[in-house]
Amino acid sequence: MTLRFTQDHEWLRLEGGTATIGITDFAQGQLGDVVFVELPEIGRALKKGEAAAVVESVKAASDVYAPISGQVTARNDALAEAPAKVNESAQGEGWFYKMTIADPKELEGMMDEAAYKAFAGS
């Protein structure tokens, strides 16, 4: 299981040819209490950098961008009933969606955990 991070504070967990996507613990901390999550439809094709989901908190609404290109294969519908899972377990039960990986080379520009922690100042 490989974790990668973007400068927009998304994480990607690589498991075989599937990537699980969510926002980082740092991002959920900046947002505050998450009250709503809008997820992409299964089957939707996403391009790297495209807005894929929306997360709303008591402070603000933010787009969640696709860290790579691919097709959405699953979504965490539990977040509709319990958006606070993003605050409780941003990099665990608070995942947003899963997708196929169209171009593995897109992973090369992402940060590993140590680089992300240095970037985020945590």
pLDDT digits (tens, 9 = 90+) for 77-117: 999 999 999 999 999 999 999 999 999 999 998 999 999 99
Average pLDDT, integer, range 66-85: 97
For residue 26, give every residue at least 6 positions away whose Cβ sits within 8 Å of its Cβ, in sequence order, or none: 9, 120, 122
Domain count across the chain:
1
Residue 67 lies in a domain: yes
Q: What is the pLDDT of residue 2?
A: 87
Rounded distance, CA 105 to CA 12, Å? 14
Phi-psi region at 56: left, alpha or beta (left = phi > 0; alpha = psi -120 to 50):
beta
Q: What is the CATH number of the domain that holds 41?
A: 2.40.50.100
Q: How confident is the model at residue 1 (pLDDT cuts 50, 70, 90)?
A: low
Residue 115 lies in a domain: no
Average pLDDT, integer, range 53-81: 96
- Which structural domain range is residue 92 located in? 2-102
